[in-house]
Amino acid sequence: MNKVIATTKAPGAIGPYSQAIVANNMLFTSGQIPIDPATGNVVEGDVIAQAEQVCKNLQAVLEEAGTNFENVVKTTCFLADMGDFAAFNEVYAKYFVSKPARSCVAVKTLPKNVLCEVELTATI
């Protein structure tokens, strides 16, 4: 049976979905955007500031599920501007030191016009 993961240490879903689901000892997160869970507002600043908040939000979901960044096996990263790729990678590399598999794409628009979004899959 699937288990819904929810924590107040990461922003709540802004639509009809959960922060994450555990199925067969695997965690599947929804995309996290740079919303400060304390205020409900998008973190202002460049892609570095926003990527930091995204990673903090993912960390909170991972911890709620009983796992951590070392157990991440795959990420999908979305950037509003591929020109931010190098700056985004600076932040990403600090959190995903185990170097999981990854896809990174530029998209036309992200929710709330943020600069980046990341979803991941991890083992429990």
What residue spans define the domains of the chain? 3-123
| pLDDT at res. 104 | 98
Domain covering 3-123: architecture: 2-Layer Sandwich (3.30)
Among 10-14, 71-75, 89-93, name the one with the lowest average pLDDT. 10-14
Residue 59: what pLDDT?
A: 98
Q: Is the dihedral of CA 115, 76, 60, 8 positive or negative?
A: positive
Output the pLDDT for position 13: 86
CA R_g for the chain: 13
Task: Quote the CA–CA distance of 59 and 72 in Å, as a whole number.
Answer: 11
Of 55, 77, 104, 116, which residue is the catalytic one? 104
What is the C-alpha to C-alpha distance for residues 85 and 116, in angstroms, rounded to an integer? 10
Task: Say how far apart CA 80 and CA 65 lie, in whole Å.
Answer: 29
Residue 77 annotated to the active site: no
- Give the pLDDT confidence of 5-60 residue by residue, as tens digits: 999 999 998 789 999 999 999 999 999 999 999 999 999 999 999 999 999 999 99
Model confidence at 109: pLDDT above 90? yes
Q: CA 42 to CA 113: how far, in whole Å?
A: 9
Higher pLDDT, 1 or 91: 91
What's the average model confidence in pLDDT over 68-93? 98
Residue 7's pLDDT is what?
Answer: 97
Instruction: Give the per-residue pLDDT at 64.
Output: 98
Report residue 9 as tokens.
């240490």
